[in-house]
Amino acid sequence: MRDRASGQFLNKEKTAMFFSSNTDSENRRKILREGGDLVKGSYERYLGLPTLVGKSKYNTFRCLKEGVWQKINNWKNSFLSSAGKEIMIKTVLQAIPSYTMSVFKLPKKLICKELNGMLAKFWWGNQQRECCIQWRSWKKMGQSKENGGVGFRDLENFNLALPGRILQNPSSLTTKIYKEKYLRNFSLLEVKLGNTPSLIWRSVWSYMGLLKEGLRWRVGNGNKIQIWGQK
């Protein structure tokens, strides 16, 4: 089966068909007939990302928490010094959800409470003691070392900024698709969320507020400046 838009052929070993409830049976038969013999199987993830996100976003991305937990429970981490823990958190533990956060905006419960709580417990405690005193809030630990922190990444703000990078490459196929679907009649700063948006578009759209806060207006040639205001 060849994609008429891109001219590429589908890899049948990595292809599965999914139809919404609104797809009539005749169109289903046509698509399946054009596709030929496809491998039947369950493809819940593709390139490490979920192909479908159900009603519970927390359950969909809970595997990130489990990945961080497995790294923390490594017996070798019991012998890490403070410097070793700092490197472990910055280069390994906080990097585990980065790939997923570059596409999806994760639930606050998962980021603010559970992931940050696990990292704080790992920093202040050890493997032998379940309870530990956290002498400083994790938010303050994210400040620079000059301001009394350690410089740990703020996962919530990091997740807010990452999905917006999808639109930074105008020539990419992803950018062209989203421009055609959501930005056809609006500029980037005027675009609305729309009806029944995908989770990826919700994640990108939530980045717009952060983008507008950092924008600065240049005068340029002055053609768009209205000296006397609008009537």
Residue with tokens 């403070």: 82
Residue 54, SS3 per DSSP: coil
| Length reported for the chain | 231
> Where along the chain do its domains lie?
12-43, 56-160, 164-213
93 φ, ψ (degrees, to nearest 5)? -65, -45
User: What's residue 87's pLDDT?
Assistant: 92
Residue 169, C-beta contacts closer than 8 angstroms, at least 6 positions apart: 175
**Pairing of β 45-46 and β 49-50:** antiparallel
Residue 129 has pLDDT above 60, yes or no: no
- pTM (two decimals): 0.65
Mean pLDDT of 181-197: 74
65 φ, ψ (degrees, to nearest 5)? -65, -40
Q: Give, as one character, the DSSP assignment of residue 8.
A: P
Rounded mean pLDDT of the chain?
78
E strand or H helix that includes residue 45: strand 45-46
